[in-house]
Structures are given as structure tokens and as C-alpha cells.
Amino acid sequence: MSTVSGLDWRHRLAERGVDRRLWLLLPATVFVLVLFIYPFVYGLSLSFQPMNGGGAFANYQKFFSDAYQRDTILTTLKIALPAALLNVLAAVPIAFRMRGRFRGKRLMTTVLVIPITLGTVLTAQGLLNFLGPTGWFNRVLMGIGLTDDPIRLTNNYWGVFFSLIVTGFPFAFLLVLSYLSGIDPTLERAAATLGASRSQRFRRITLPLLAPGLATTFLLTFVLAFSVFPSAVLVGNPAGSTRVISLAAYQAAYEQYDYAYASAIAMIMGAVELVVVAVVLIWRSRLYTGSTGGKG
């Protein structure tokens, strides 16, 4: 094949899927390179050029040697991991109940979707009003005599946690429901014919088929929860128990105007987040990933 003509060469490329249609990818690829990859690389290199001198790693040393900054990683994980986990775990049984057809299913789905429209600020205001010391929730608790003094549920960890449940649960629910509807119900019926009990069917058939979807749902809810920033300020205690890492990055950039340090924190944040993503993906790859019967 030493005398490959231009046409022949093009033909062979086309057989491997490289033809003129690939030009259609160009705008999106250029766009991702310019607006995502380039800023990322720029931020990475900026993080190695500390504003106040020092070695290339000075910004990272600064972050990890300062307990007030370092602890933001743990704070973020302590809020985001349980919230994401609870959202996914709570979504499973509810989605399981909702996959059949019954009266009011559409209404119920719509109501469950409504929290998506609330936005951080209405959620924050609502939680402050509702769960606050003089709010309806504490009034009811004190009214039925469960407690004498109002329980503190806002301006601390719990406020942020609840705001993540309110905004994250509907999202997790929708995803789990759609993964669940993708599982072919005939599989379960076949198992029932063979004498499998309800719990056996769930454990041996539905759960393994659903697990990869659950992993994806967990990841997406975790990403949402991990970047919690407005609610950490509005319903949390932004100087203490809910000082999340995004807040540290924001303060470095827009209060101290140290973009190099802010980029370093953003990179650390990305790295921590990607470690969790990687762990979940590795765990997911050990699960069954074949066809779930019904979906393509």
C-alpha cells in the first residue's frame, strides 16, 4: 500500500468513521476547549504563581497549613455526602411506589418537581421563616408539648442540610424514577413465576439492575451538594460550622483579590470532588452494566 491515492486514503478513513460529517463536532469542541479546558489550564498554572512570591506550591502549602482553610474540605464533605446519600436512598422506595399507574400520579410527580423552581433564596427564606425559633415548625412542636424551647434548626449545619434535601431530593427522585422505569418489569414477573418472594425479587433482580443508575444519581446530586455556596451563606453559619470550600475560594477571589490563591482552592476543590467521583465510578464499574431489558 505504498501508492495510496488521495481518494483511496479518504475512503479508508471513512471506513473508520472519519469523514466530513466530523466537522459538525468542530464548534462544540472549539467551544469546550476555549471556555472550559483553557480556563482550567490557565487557573491551574495561575495557582502555581503565588501572588506574594514563594515556591510554585506556596498557595497549596498556605491552604493546607491553615487549619481554618483546610477544615473547609471536611465541612463540605460532611454536608454534601450525607445529603446526597439521603436523597438517593429516600428516592428509591418512593420511586418504587410511583412507577405503577395510579390516580394522581401526574399531579404527584409535578408536586415533587416544584422544589426545583424554588431557587436557593426562596428555600433559604422559607427555611428561616418556617424552621426559625418563632416559625410554624417550632410552634407546632411546642404546641403538642414535644419541646419547651424552640429547636435551633437554622443558621447552622441543619439549615444547610435541609436546603440540600429540599432542592436535591426532587432531582434525585426524577432520576431514580426514570432509571427504574427503564427496567423491564417482565424480569421481575419471571422471577415471581419461579417462586421468588417480593424482597428476593427486589434484592436479586431490581437492585442490581438499578445500582448503576443509583451511582449516577448519587454523583449528580453530590455535585449539586458539593458546590453548595449560597445556602451555606444564607441559612448556614458561614463563619463556622458551614464554612464550605466554595466559600473559601470565593473569599480568596473576591474579598482578597488573590486570584492565584482562589484558583488553587478551586483546583483542590475539583480534585476532592473528582476523587469522590472516581471512587463511585470504580465501584459502579464492578456492578452489572449490561442491558436492563427494557431500554435501549
Partner 1 sequence: MSAPTSTSAAVHNDGPTRAKGVRRSLRATPTAWVIWAVVAFFFVNLAGVVGSVLVSSFGRRWFDTWLPSGFTTQWYGEAWHEFGLLHVITVTLIASALVVALSVVVGAPAAYVLARQNFPGKRLVYITFLLPILMPPITYGIPLATVLYKFGFAGHLSGVVLANLVPSVPFVILTMTPFIEQVDPRIESAARMLGAGTRAVFLKILAPLLVPGLLASAILVLVRTVGMFELTFLTAGPDSQTLVVALYYSMSAAGIRAQQSVDAMAVIYTSMMLVLLVVALRFVNPTQLVARVKEEPE
Q: Is 11 a binder of partner 1 (CB under 8 A)?
A: no
Query: What letter does residue 183 receive in the DSSP assignment?
Result: B
Closest CB to partner 1 among residues 3, 143: 143
For residue 143, the SS3 value is helix
State the Cα–Cα distance between residues 105 and 229, nearest whole angstrom.
Answer: 34
List CB contacts of 113: < 8 A, sequence separation 6 or more. Answer: 170, 174
Site residues (CB under 8 A) for partner 1, limited to 151-170 = 166, 169
**Among the residue ranges 4-12, 63-71, 81-89, 268-276, the one whose residues contact partner 1 (CB under 8 A):** 268-276
- Name, in order, each residue with C-beta under 8 angstroms of 116's C-beta and a sequence gap of 6 or more: 167, 170, 171
Three-state DSSP at 184 gives coil
CB of 208 to partner 1, least distance (A): 16
Please give the backbone phi and psi of residue 183, each rounded to the nearest 5 degrees, phi first.
Answer: -85, 130
**Quick one: 58 or 87, whose CB is closer to partner 1?**
87
In angstroms, give the least distance from the CB of 155 to partner 1: 12
Q: How far is the CB of 241 from partner 1 (least distance, A)?
A: 18
Nearer to partner 1, 57 or 130 (CB): 130
- Give the position of cell 424554588: 118
Residue carrying C-alpha cell 472549539? 30
Question: What's the closest the beta carbon of residue 72 comes to partner 1, in angstroms?
Answer: 12
| Contact pick of 10, 43, 49, 61 for partner 1 (by CB under 8 A) | 43
Which residues between 212 and 241 bind partner 1 (CB under 8 A)?
213, 216, 219-220, 223, 226-227, 229-230, 233-234
- Residue 81 as a binder of partner 1 (CB under 8 A): the answer is no
Q: By CB under 8 A, name the one of 11, 55, 129, 203 that touches partner 1.
A: 129
Task: Count the neighbouring beta carbons within 10 Å of the beta carbon of residue 40.
Answer: 14
Report the alpha-carbon angle 25-29-32, nearest 5. 150
Q: Report the residue number, 241 or 272, with the smaller CB distance to partner 1.
A: 272
- Separation of alpha carbons 109 and 120, rounded Å: 21
Alpha-carbon span 264 to 45, nearest angstrom: 9
Task: Of 200, 205, 168, give the one whose Cα is nearest residue 89.
Answer: 168
CB of 118 to partner 1, least distance (A): 6
Binds partner 1 by CB under 8 A, chosen from 54, 55, 185, 208: 185
Nearer residue to partner 1 within complex by CB, 205 or 267: 267
**Nearer of residues 18 and 287 to partner 1, judged by Cβ:** 18
Residue 286 Cβ vs partner 1, minimum distance, rounded to whole Å: 20
